[in-house]
A and B are shown apart, each in its own frame.
Chain A
Amino acid sequence: MEKLQMTGKANNSGFEITATINTEINRFATRNYDVKEEEVDSPVNSWIISAILYILALIFYAEIGLALDIWASLFILLSAFAAGNILWSVPTLLRKNSLWKQWHACEHKLVNIITRNNPKFPCLEKLKQTSPYNSNCGSVLIITTLLFNLYIICALPFTGYLLPIILNFIGVIYLVAIFARSLCPKKYPVNKLTFPIMIILAGFAALILLSQQQA
């Protein structure tokens, strides 16, 4: 039997689902999804800002091990930017029942009920009972990378400037996640992106460690 693949996107007005079976693709959206286009799917308002910060962060990453003292002040500044970027999304995420969160749950429940109960006919009660958790959601990528980031920080013997390093590290991973998702949300599933990103980050961590040992 051909497998049904589904990707979704939610905003304040509803959500859309792109369903694929073999070469057949169809888009399904809730009533008002296209009416009011509010970009609340990504916590960052513009991915361009994220991209610039991301590139800057990577440059500073390479520099940190080579000339920590010279770059320290700029590094702290960048960390503040990165932290600010995270803080930007906090009010939206902490609001208990924002429309975006509700539609996001609906999107996950729909994907879960269709893929798990296939080919049974769904019913409303079952939809309510279905889990809102979906392992392919972008939020999992963000949380995963943040956790991995924490793991690297704990594993590396940093001596000075710990706070900016932690702040920047979290900021960079956050930006990588947002940037990767905004660039290719549909082409590549989130779980396929996670591993390459982690490899790149591990490479940077190794670079820092190597530079510190040489100094």
Chain B
Amino acid sequence: MGSFAIELLTKYSGIPYLAQKYIFTGEPTQEQYEETFLLALKIQAWQKSVMEEIEIERR
């Protein structure tokens, strides 16, 4: 009952989603997007290298 109420209030009500969208985040600028994108590329490159290392270790 309690857990259902929590689910109802949070997951299904969409209130945390709306709060995060309108209160806790804003619309980034083009420069911010570009910097974020560069970071995404760096993370992906790192992820790829780690995966390759793991694959080599397995063999």
Q: Closest B-chain residue to A14, C-beta based?
A: B35
Cα of A137 to Cα of B6 in the assembled complex, Å: 17
Chain A interface category by residue count: 35 or more
Chain B residue nearest to A20 (CB atoms) is B50
**B13 to A147, Cβ gap below 8 A?**
yes
Please determine whether A30 and B40 come into contact, CB atoms closer than 8 angstroms.
no
Across the interface, A103 reaches (CB within 8 A) one of B9, B10, B32, B48, namely: B32
Interface string of A102-123 (1 = CB under 8 A from B): 1111111110011000110110
Q: Assess whether A45 is interfacial by the CB under 8 Å rule.
A: no
Main secondary structure of the interface of B (DSSP, over half): helix
CA distance A114 to B34 in the complex (A): 15
Residues of A within 8 A of B37 (CB): 122, 124, 127
Nearest residue, chain A, Cβ from B6? A148
Neighbouring A residues of B2 by C-beta, 8 Å: 198, 202
Q: Mark A38-63, 1 if CB is under 8 A from B, else 0.
A: 00000000000000000000000000
A91: shortest Cβ distance to chain B, in Å?
A: 12
- Of A66-74, A76-84, A93-101, A157-165, the stretch lying at the interface with chain B is A93-101
Give bound CA distance, A93 to B23, whole Å: 6
